[in-house]
Amino acid sequence: MNEVSQKELEGTLTQTKTLAGKVYESIKAEIIRGELSQGSKIVESELAFKYGISRGPLREAIHRLEQMKLILRVPHAGSRVVTLDIKTMHDIYTAREALEGMAARLAARHMSDEAIVSLQNLLDTHEQVISESDGKTYLQEEGNIDFHHRIASASQNQWILENLNGELYQLIRMCRYQSGQQPTRPAKALAQHRQIAFAIEQRDEELAELLMRRHISGAWKIVKTILELQND
């Protein structure tokens, strides 16, 4: 295990001022990238030494990771990195379907006309990227997230926004990263995004929610297939 220098800790644009915050971001990234493997044990003194800090702020970082459900902690027995089995991921996608469906409904209700135009411009950009790179559609993945981020923001519901962009997003990113998922049929996803955006433009709450739920439900089926292949 290597130590981490102070400069590395700063990382890319960490706006947290406390040690606990910085180390939290670092460990979170390690878990998502799989450098701390699923189910592996977290020993406080080891990590504290690795990051060159004392156990105090490290413990705070661990608590925050526990809150994000990235690690599992049991009193007096330590912590382990979460294990993303199929059942867990299914639960997460189902919760996401409920919340993001509602977010789409709220977006259809609250999104400003300018924001809707901007959303459709974003989709135009995605279309260009897809047609241009034709195979290297990696960027689409980030763009995909961007679309869902905008819907969540437009819901203007703080609770839903925080949970979609926080806990659920991190876990899905971790699963996606570690299973090496390719962007799944970007053209099809784009078409669905356009449908949703259209429903929002029409202020059709019912349809916006329905389409978003189908979209996420479809995404889960693909993820499920990938995960099942890997577990055999």
Partner DNA sequence: ATTCATATAATTGTTAACAATAAAGGGAAA
Partner DNA sequence: TTTCCCTTTATTGTTAACAATTATATGAAT
Locate tokens 């995004």: which residue?
193
Helices vs strands, H then E, count in the chain: 11, 3
Name the DSSP letter for residue 156. Answer: T
Mapped onto helix, strand or coil, the DSSP state of residue 72 is: strand
Instruction: Output 24 or 147, the one with its CB closest to DNA.
Output: 24
Q: Does 79 bind DNA (CB under 7 A)?
A: yes
By CB under 8 A, tell whether 128 contacts its own copies: no
Question: What torsion do the CA atoms of 85, 90, 91, 93 make, to the nearest 10 degrees?
Answer: 130
What tokens appear for 157 in the block?
Answer: 């519901």
If we measure between CA atoms, which residue out of 124, 230, 139, 133 comes closest to residue 183?
139
Stretch that binds DNA, among 76-84, 96-104, 132-140, 215-223 (CB under 7 A): 76-84
CA-to-CA distance for 212 and 193, rounded, in angstroms? 8
Among 158, 180, 229, 231, binds its own copies (CB under 8 A): 158
Q: Does 44 bind DNA (CB under 7 A)?
A: yes
The residue from 76, 131, 159, 232 that contacts DNA (CB under 7 A) is 76
**Residue 42 binds DNA (CB under 7 A):** yes
Q: How far apart are CA 137 and CA 131, in angstroms?
A: 9
Window of 28-36, 90-98, 184-192, 199-207 that interacts with its own copies by CB under 8 A: 90-98
The stretch among 140-148, 154-162, 173-181, 200-208 that binds its own copies (CB under 8 A) is 154-162
Of 30, 202, 186, 209, give the one whose Cα is nearest residue 102: 209
The option from DNA, its own copies, none interacting with 7 (CB < 5 to 8 A, set by class) reads none
Query: Which position among 101, 130, 144, 152 is part of the footprint of its own copies (CB under 8 A)?
Result: 101
Q: How large is the greatest C-alpha to C-alpha distance in the chain, in angstroms?
A: 56
Only segment of 5-13, 93-101, 175-183, 224-232 that touches its own copies (CB under 8 A): 93-101
- The letter for the amino acid at 168 is L
Interacting residue with DNA among 11, 34, 39, 56 (CB under 7 A): 56
Name the helix (H) or strand (E) containing 79: strand 78-81
Q: What angle do CA 74, 76, 81 make, to 5 degrees?
A: 40
Residue 64 contacts its own copies per CB under 8 A? yes
By the criterion CB under 8 A, which residues form the site for its own copies? 16-18, 21, 56, 59-60, 63-64, 67, 75-76, 88, 91-92, 94-95, 97-99, 101-102, 106, 157-160, 163, 168
By the criterion CB under 7 A, which residues form the site for DNA? 17-20, 41-45, 53-57, 59-60, 75-79
